[in-house]
Amino acid sequence: MVSRTLIRYFGTRFLGAVMSVFLGLFVLIVLVDYIELTRRAADIPNLSAWMVAKTSFFRVPAVTERLLPFSVLVGAMACYLALSRRNELVVARAAGMSAWQFVAPALIVAFMLGIAATAIYNPLSAAMREWSKKLEADMFGQQNNMMQQQNALGFWVRQRSPDGQSIVYAVSSQEQGVRLDGVSVFTFDPAGKPLERIEAKRAMLETGHWRLEQARVYASGVPPKDHDTFLVKTNLTSAQVRESFSTPETVPFWDLPAYIEIAERSGLVAAGYKLQYQLLIARPFMLAAMVLLACSVSLRFFRFGGVPRMVLSGITAGFLLYVLSKVTEDLSKAELLHPMAAAWLPVLAGGLTGFVVLLYQEDG
C-alpha cells in the first residue's frame, strides 16, 4: 500500500512539474509573439488588442509542440531534484523502493503525454495554425503579403488546362493550399508561348478553376485590366493542391497517411510526410527517453553536492540530442536516410544513454 501511494505521488509530482514548465514556456512565447505582432500592427487603424492576442494565441501551439521534449526533460530534472532536496527519495528508499520504481511513474506519465500530444495536441495545433493564418490575412492584408514575400520563397505549382499550361505562385497558403494569398499566375498557350500575367490578392480553388479576387491582368500590347473576380482553369484537385502547398508540419497526424499515399501515387517526393509521421509516432518514446536522461543526472542526493554540474549535464545531453535529431531530419529530407531511421535514432540514442547511466549508478 505504501509503495502504491508513493508511486501515485511521484507520478503526480512529475506531471505537475512538466505542466508547469510547459505552461510557463507557452505563456512566455505568447507574450513575446504578442509584442512582436503589436509592433507589426502598430500602423493598422482600428485594430483591437483582442484580435492581436487571439492571433498570437493561435500561432503559439505549433511552436510549443516542438518544445514538449525539453519541457519533459526540464520538468523531470526539477521534479527529482526537488524530491532529493527534501530527502523524499531517501524516504522512498527506506520504504523499500528502488530507483527504478520511482522512475517508472514518470516514464508512464511521459508516455501517456506523448500519446496525447500526437493524437490530440498535434491536430489541434495544426488547426489553430490555419486559424492564425486567416486572422493574419484579415489583419495585414496586402501589407502582410509584401512582408512575407520579402522573408519567404513562397509556393510554386505547375498546372495544365484545356487552354494550355500555367504556373501559380503564392506568397502564403491557408486551408492546406485551397486558399492562397499574394497570388501570381503565368499563363501559356498550348505551344508554350506566354499569354498573360495575373496578379491577385487571393485565390480560392473551386471545381475546375481558381477563383482570383481583386485581380489585375497584364497582357502584351494591352493596358492592364482590373477584375473583382477572375477565373483561371485548372485540372488540379483539392488533394493535389494540398500536397503541393502544405508543409509536413502543418498536416494533422491523422491526415498524414492520406498525404503520403497521394504523394506516392502522384510520383512526388513523400519523404517529408513520412518523416513527420514517424516523428509523431516516436514522440511518446522520445518523451520517455527524456525522462531517462533527466533521471540519470538528477537522482544524486543533495548532500553529495555537484548539483549545478548535474543540471548542466542534463541540459547538455538534451542539446546534443536536439542536434542529433536535426541532423537526422535533414538527412531524411535530403533522402539520404530512411525516415524511420531518422525518427527513431535520436530516441534510441537518448533512451539507451539514460538507461545505461542510470543502470550504472544504481546497480553498477
Q: Determine the pLDDT at residue 267.
A: 56
What letter represents residue 261's amino acid? Answer: E
Q: How far is CA 211 from CA 100, 274, 322, 331, 348, in A?
A: 61, 32, 43, 39, 49
Q: How far is CA 337 from CA 90, 173, 269, in A?
A: 46, 29, 14
For residue range 5-54, list pLDDT tens digits in order. 778 888 899 999 999 999 999 999 999 988 988 888 777 777 778 888 88
Instruction: Write b or e for each residue in 136-148: b if 16 or more Cβ atoms lie within 10 A of its Cβ, otherwise e.
Output: bbebbeeebbeeb
- DSSP bridge partners of 206: 209
**Residue whose cell numbers read 537526422:** 328
Phi, psi dihedral angles at 31 (to 5 degrees): -65, -45
Q: Determine the pLDDT at residue 244.
A: 60
Helices (H), the chain: 2-40, 49-85, 88-94, 99-116, 122-140, 142-151, 238-245, 256-265, 271-298, 307-333, 339-363
Q: Determine the pLDDT at residue 69.
A: 92
Q: Determine the pLDDT at residue 286.
A: 94
Residues of the chain with CATH 2.60.450: 148-246
Q: For residues 341 and 106, what is the distance between their CA atoms, to the nearest angstrom?
A: 26
Q: For residues 179 and 321, what is the distance between their CA atoms, to the nearest angstrom?
A: 37
Q: For residues 361 and 364, what is the distance between their CA atoms, to the nearest angstrom?
A: 6
What cell does 87 get?
530527502
Instruction: Write b or e for each residue in 297-332: b if 16 or more Cβ atoms lie within 10 A of its Cβ, otherwise e.
Output: bbbbeeeeeebeebbebbeebbeebbeebeebbebb
Q: Determine the pLDDT at residue 147.
A: 40
Q: Which of 320, 317, 325 is nearest to 358 (CA)?
A: 317
DSSP state at residue 118: I
Digits of tens for pLDDT over the chain (364 positions)?
Answer: 456 777 888 889 999 999 999 999 999 999 998 898 888 877 777 777 888 888 888 889 988 988 999 999 999 998 888 888 887 777 777 777 777 887 889 999 999 999 999 999 999 998 888 788 778 777 765 444 444 443 445 677 777 766 777 888 887 777 666 788 888 888 887 777 788 888 888 888 888 788 888 888 888 778 888 888 888 888 777 666 665 666 777 788 988 888 787 767 655 567 788 889 999 999 999 999 999 998 888 776 555 556 677 778 888 888 888 889 989 988 888 888 889 999 999 999 999 988 888 888 766 5
Q: Under a CB-based contact definition with an 8 Å cutoff, are residues 183 and 200 in contact?
A: yes
Q: For residues 148 and 140, what is the distance between their CA atoms, to the nearest angstrom?
A: 11
Q: For residues 121 and 115, what is the distance between their CA atoms, to the nearest angstrom?
A: 9
Q: For residues 94 and 97, what is the distance between their CA atoms, to the nearest angstrom?
A: 7
Q: Tell me how far apart the 2 most distant CA atoms of the chain are, in Å.
A: 91
Half-sphere exposure of 131 (CA within 13 A, CB side): 18
Share of the chain above pLDDT 70, in %: 85
Q: Determine the pLDDT at residue 152.
A: 45
Domain at 148-246, CATH class: mainly beta
